[in-house]
């Protein structure tokens, strides 16, 4: 789905896509929920999971999501937005997802068949650990 969506729910977002993209995003949505236990929501025109608040040293702050899923014109984008001591978690999966284009927190691929779902599940689990650690630090 290029640009902004008028979908108000994740179901509307997915159902508004043409086949086969619809079934691919539905499968990814299930994988994300099963792997992380996070509930989907519409967030900035994408399906988002695991909302958190951030604040930079500069004073800039806002809300974002741990994971986001979007259908773009030429590819599917899976955003895994958390970091660990080595940097962005998604970047550490470049060698394990050779058919995907990975930059900082975005994993882009043309078709679901281009990626190993077990590797994506591992990435999502590690990303979710990052979200839990971030929330634990905030509570401490």
* Segment 31-41, tens digit of pLDDT: 999 999 999 99
pLDDT for 119: 98
| Residue 1 covered by a domain | no
| Residue 109 covered by a domain | yes
pLDDT for 138: 76
pLDDT for 140: 65
Q: Which long-range contacts (CB under 8 A, 24 or more apart) does 22-30 make?
A: 24/76, 24/111, 24/112, 25/69, 25/71, 25/76, 27/112, 28/69, 28/76, 28/78, 28/112, 28/120, 29/69
| Residue 3 covered by a domain | no
pLDDT for 5: 80
pLDDT for 4: 66
pLDDT for 2: 45
Q: Which residues of the chain have pLDDT under 70?
A: 1-4, 140
| Residue 4 covered by a domain | no
CATH number for 74: 3.90.1150.200
| Residue 5 covered by a domain | no
| Residue 82 covered by a domain | yes
pTM: 0.92
| Residue 2 covered by a domain | no
In whole angstroms, how far apart are CA 23 and each of 28, 51, 57, 98, 101? 9, 25, 41, 22, 21
Q: How many domains does the chain fold into?
A: 1
Q: Which domain holds residue 14?
A: 10-139
| Residue 46 covered by a domain | yes
């Amino acid at each position: 789905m290029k640009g902004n969506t008028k979908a108000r729910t994740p179901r509307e977002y997915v159902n508004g896509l043409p086949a086969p993209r619809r079934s691919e995003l539905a499968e990814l949505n299930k994988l994300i929920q099963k792997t992380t236990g996070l509930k989907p929501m519409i967030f900035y025109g994408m399906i988002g999971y695991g909302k958190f608040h951030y604040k930079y040293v500069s004073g800039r702050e806002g809300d974002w999501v741990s994971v986001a899923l979007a259908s773009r014109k030429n590819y599917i984008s899976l955003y895994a937005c958390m970091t660990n001591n080595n940097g962005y978690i998604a970047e550490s999966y470049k060698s394990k997802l050779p058919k995907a284009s990975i930059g900082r927190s975005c994993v882009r691929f043309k078709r679901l068949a281009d990626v190993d779902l077990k590797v994506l599940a591992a990435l999502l689990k590690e990303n979710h650990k990052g979200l839990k650690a971030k929330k634990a630090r905030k509570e401490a």
